[in-house]
Amino acid sequence: MAVTVGLEIGGSAVRGAVVDSSRGKHLVRRFGEMPIPTGAVQAGEVFDEDAVIEAVSALFKRHKLPKKRVVIGTANQRIVVRQVDVPQMDDSEMREALPFQVQDSLPIAVEDAVLDYVPLEEFVTPEGEPMQSILVVAIGREVVDTLVRIADGAGIGLTAIDLQPFGLVRAVVSVAPMVGSPTNAVVDIGRSMTQVVIAQGGVARFVRLLPRGGDDFTQALVETLEVDEETAEEMKKTVGVAPDEMPDGIDDTASAQRALTRIADGLIDELRGSMSFFRSQAENVEIEKLIVAGNAARLPHLANRMGRVLGLPIAPAKILDYVETGRVQMSDEELQAAQPVLPSAVGLGLWGVGL
């Protein structure tokens, strides 16, 4: 397997990881990130192509990333992921029949989308008809066109466009040692988007993209305390959410923590709803662990509150326990600090690798 560059276009930065899986192991040769202007990407959707192209170009130049075999990730509200049951057929037949098989299961017209699928399992109906469950991915054509223009503008060779939640599963779950077929939830909280993906045995079974993220916490402090965004950003990093009960003080710290906790509880409610829906569709399969990643997951006490309210063991994404690193031009301390934002880019760099 050739060296692959995973490219994540996030809400606050673009990130690239050079992953070499050619010798039976997974080696991160380089990793870098480059900030993008506020508003250039919102909830995973690109609003300022020129700014993103400039950032991607600077990322590849500064960190000396190869410009061939690049896999770009995407995750936004113009993407639909559904589990669908269809008659058994081989891959070529499935790809030809996919638009007709899934058109009634999608909220967007198949002619306006690029379709792909992930095979899950085969089964036989009580009537003896051979069927298979597949996870269908429908990406709006305008999303694909935008990413192709960004790759062309930055002068990089685009090999594939992948769903970022699939990359998360590869980096956080699939490369880790596994006993049996555990069901884990991975939650990546970014600046303006939270990705929820539930994987069973290292295979994504459920994906939900929530237009919530770190910006919601910042804006809560801006409105509650009437401070500027820079002050709010710094305050949320020190105050955090309430680990247990809401504080009842009247000082700014207590007011800030109440505001942050209300946003956290709203996010947790959406996570609970997503997990309940998955359980209802998966015959009450129990989720064993919640793995958290993303810049906004650093918010003090947020992860612990999520685990306590949802009743799940919680663990931070630590992919450096399972992948090796080369000369990434980062100290051990810098690499450890980057752990929350490594999974997306590294997982995209694992595209095409049999895990």
> Which CATH code is given to the segment(s) 179-317?
3.30.420.40
Residue 201 pLDDT class (50, 70, 90 cuts): confident
Task: Tell me what pLDDT residue 2 has.
Answer: 76
How far, in Å, are 93, 111, 136, 262 from residue 87 at the CA level? 11, 22, 14, 46
Q: How far apart are CA 216 and CA 42, in angstroms?
A: 12
Q: Mean pLDDT for the chain? A: 93
pLDDT by residue (tens digit) across 116-153? 999 999 999 999 999 999 999 999 999 999 999 999 99
Average pLDDT rounded to a whole number, residues 312-338: 89
Q: Which of 162, 156, 150 is nearest to 52 (CA)?
A: 150
Task: Tell me what pLDDT residue 245 has.
Answer: 85
pLDDT of 256 strictly over 90? yes
Residue 215 pLDDT class (50, 70, 90 cuts): very high
Residue 257 CB partners (closer than 8 Å, separation 6+): 239, 240, 241, 242, 246, 247
Identify the DSSP state of 218. Answer: H
Alpha helix (H) residue ranges in the chain: 49-62, 91-102, 141-154, 164-169, 214-225, 229-239, 252-281, 302-310, 332-337, 342-349
DSSP letters spanning 81-113: EEEEEEE---HHHHHHHHHHHHGGG-SS-GGGE
pLDDT of 355 strictly over 60? no
Task: Tell me what pLDDT residue 51 has.
Answer: 98
Q: Which of 131, 282, 303, 114 is nearest to 204 (CA)?
A: 282
Average pLDDT rounded to a whole number, residues 248-253: 86
Q: Would you say 69 and 4 are in contact if contact means Cβ atoms under 8 Å apart? A: yes
79-139 and 179-317 agree in CATH topology: no
Task: Tell me what pLDDT residue 281 has.
Answer: 85
Residue 352 pLDDT class (50, 70, 90 cuts): confident
Q: Would you say 152 and 146 are in contact if contact means Cβ atoms under 8 Å apart? A: no
> Which CATH code is given to the segment(s) 79-139?
3.30.1490
pTM: 0.92
Task: Tell me what pLDDT residue 22 has.
Answer: 84
How far, in Å, are 30, 103, 216, 284 from residue 281 at the CA level? 40, 20, 30, 7
Task: Tell me what pLDDT residue 295 has.
Answer: 92
User: How, if at all, do strands 79-87 and 130-140 pair?
Assistant: antiparallel
pLDDT by residue (tens digit) across 187-196? 999 999 999 9
- Identify the three-state secondary structure at position 17: strand
Q: In angstroms, how far is the first alpha carbon of the chain from the final one?
A: 12
Q: Would you say 157 and 128 are in contact if contact means Cβ atoms under 8 Å apart? A: no
Write down the domain spans for the chain. Answer: 79-139, 179-317
Percentage with pLDDT > 90 across the chain = 80
pLDDT of 1 strictly over 60? no
Q: How far apart are CA 336 and CA 340, in angstroms?
A: 9
pLDDT by residue (tens digit) across 49-75? 999 999 999 999 999 999 999 999 999
Task: Tell me what pLDDT residue 244 has.
Answer: 85
Q: How far apart are CA 204 and CA 169, in angstroms?
A: 7
Residue 85 pLDDT class (50, 70, 90 cuts): very high
Question: Comparing 16-20, 180-184, 219-223, 271-275, which segment has the lowest mean pLDDT?
Answer: 180-184
> Of 333 and 314, which is predicted with more confidence?
314
Task: Tell me what pLDDT residue 179 has.
Answer: 65
pLDDT of 213 strictly over 70? yes
